[in-house]
């Protein structure tokens, strides 16, 4: 819904599960729950709705001020009432009909019927997501998804008959472009991605997805270095790097890429050796990563990653 930074709970370690705007809304809703803990649900609903109405107005004012800021060639410092209250808040690309979204969410989850449990972080996130869907439903042209831990389990796959496959097919048939964006990098090797997405591609085939709809499905891998497009036979084909790379990306020389990867590889190898970790460092054409050397290795500790990856 907005582009901004979350609020970390531990200094020096980013908290991926936090969002400053959501925490702000949560703090506004809490006093209402306490004051009307034993009150009628209707009163609590009106109070919650008032909070979301205020946030909706703040977002609109924030967007208007940003348009003026852009119109002035970004001279001076961009400010808004919302940014004064939540300094980390980013830029909103659409309005957010939060009162409508909250009303629908409350009808489904009955959060205003809870006497002693305030709206949670996830409750507010769902309201924001519903509002974003309302804002985009008539104009969206492209939807991108992460793969692992978003559309499927880490290292997993789709089931051809899963509800997600049906929803993705529906988007494609309605003219929406869908892209799976993944860090997994297999240069000029569509078969690797096909094996990871075999259930989804089989679902396309089982539903007899048209050639036009299938051609709107893409896979962007290797941190935006490799692009693949779905063909009529539900296989993936390579899209030439020059046809999708930005002008800046096209200026990258091979020696610059090698230099950056050399630094990254040295940092990871040094970290593995210092911490005596059971990992192998894997070097690819446009990436460096870690592979577990044994079954018991598991994933690297987050603190270790935060310490070594930025280096």
Instruction: Give the E-state strand segments of the chain in sequence order.
Output: 142-145, 177-181, 217-221, 226-230, 236-239, 279-284, 287-292
Q: What is the mean pLDDT of residues 279-297?
A: 78
Residue 7 pLDDT exceeds 60 = no
Q: What is the mean pLDDT of residues 126-147?
A: 91
Residue 11 pLDDT exceeds 60 = no
- Measured in whole angstroms, how far is the alpha carbon of residue 61 from the centre of its chain? 25
* pLDDT for residue 54: 97
- Looking from the CA of 14 toward its CB, the CA atoms found within 13 Å total 11
Confidence of residue 20 (pLDDT cuts 50, 70, 90): very high
* pLDDT for residue 120: 93
Q: Can you read off the two tokens belonging to residue 185?
A: 């990098």
Residue of 191, 145, 193, 152 whose CA lies nearest to 172:
145
Give the span between the Cα atoms of 253 and 258, in whole angstroms.
Answer: 9
Question: Residue 307: how many CB atoms within 10 A of its CB?
Answer: 16
* pLDDT for residue 228: 96
What is the average pLDDT score of the chain? 85
Residues catalogued as catalytic: 146, 148
Beta strands 177-181 and 217-221 are: parallel
Residue of 284, 286, 274 whose CA lies nearest to 300:
274
- Looking from the CA of 288 toward its CB, the CA atoms found within 13 Å total 18
Residue written as tokens 């009909």?
97
Q: What is the mean pLDDT of residues 220-247?
A: 92
Confidence of residue 138 (pLDDT cuts 50, 70, 90): confident
Residue 13 pLDDT exceeds 50 = no
User: Where is pLDDT greater, at 306 or 134?
Assistant: 134
Q: What is the mean pLDDT of residues 262-274?
A: 89
User: Where is pLDDT greater, at 37 or 249?
Assistant: 249
Residue 288 pLDDT exceeds 70 = yes
Q: What is the CA radius of gyration of the chain?
A: 23
Q: Can you read off the two tokens belonging to residue 238?
A: 């390579």
Confidence of residue 72 (pLDDT cuts 50, 70, 90): confident
Give the span between the Cα atoms of 244 and 284, in whole angstroms.
Answer: 21
H helices of 73-189, in order, are 81-85, 98-109, 121-136, 163-173
The predicted-structure confidence for 94-103, as pLDDT tens digits, reads as follows: 999 999 999 9
Residue of 27, 29, 28 whose CA lies nearest to 111:
29
Question: Residue 156: how many CB atoms within 10 A of its CB?
Answer: 13
* pLDDT for residue 84: 94
Structural contact between residues 112 and 39, judged by C-beta atoms closer than 8 angstroms = no
Q: What is the mean pLDDT of residues 226-236?
A: 95
Residue written as tokens 């819904």?
1
The predicted-structure confidence for 171-223, as pLDDT tens digits, reads as follows: 999 999 999 998 888 888 899 889 888 889 999 999 999 999 999 999 998 88
87 phi and psi, to 5 degrees? Answer: -55, -30
User: Among 16-20, 21-25, 80-84, 105-109, where is mean pLDDT lowest?
Assistant: 16-20
pTM of the model: 0.72
Q: Give CA torsion, residues 64, 69, 73, 76, to 10 deg.
A: 180
């Amino acid at each position: 819904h907005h582009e901004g930074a979350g609020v970390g709970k531990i200094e020096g370690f980013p908290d991926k599960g936090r969002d400053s705007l959501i925490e702000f809304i949560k703090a506004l809703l809490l006093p209402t729950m306490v004051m009307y803990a034993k009150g009628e649900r209707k009163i609590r609903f009106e109070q919650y709705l008032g909070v979301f109405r205020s946030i909706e107005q703040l977002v609109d004012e924030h967007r208007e001020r940003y348009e003026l800021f852009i119109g002035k060639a970004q001279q001076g410092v961009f400010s808004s009432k919302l940014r004064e209250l939540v300094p980390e808040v980013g830029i909103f690309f659409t309005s957010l009909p939060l009162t409508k979204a909250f009303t629908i969410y409350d009808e489904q989850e009955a959060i205003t019927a809870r006497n002693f449990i305030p709206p949670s972080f996830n409750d507010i996130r769902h309201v924001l997501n519903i509002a974003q869907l309302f804002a985009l439903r008539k104009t969206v042209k492209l939807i991108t998804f992460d793969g692992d831990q978003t559309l499927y389990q880490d290292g997993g796959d789709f089931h051809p008959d899963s509800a997600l496959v049906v929803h993705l097919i529906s988007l494609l048939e309605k003219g929406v472009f869908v892209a799976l964006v993944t860090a997994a990098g297999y240069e000029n090797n569509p078969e690797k991605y096909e094996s990871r997405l075999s259930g989804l591609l089989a679902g396309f085939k089982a539903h007899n997805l048209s050639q036009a709809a299938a051609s709107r499905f893409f896979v962007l891998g290797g941190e935006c270095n490799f692009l693949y497009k779905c063909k009529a036979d539900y296989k993936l084909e390579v899209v030439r790097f020059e046809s999708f790379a930005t002008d800046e990306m096209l200026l990258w020389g091979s020696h610059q890429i090698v230099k950056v990867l050399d630094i990254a590889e040295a940092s990871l190898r040094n970290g593995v050796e210092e911490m005596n970790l059971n990992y192998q460092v894997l070097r690819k054409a446009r990436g460096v990563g870690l592979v577990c050397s044994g079954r018991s290795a598991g994933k690297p500790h987050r603190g270790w990653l935060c310490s070594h990856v930025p280096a």
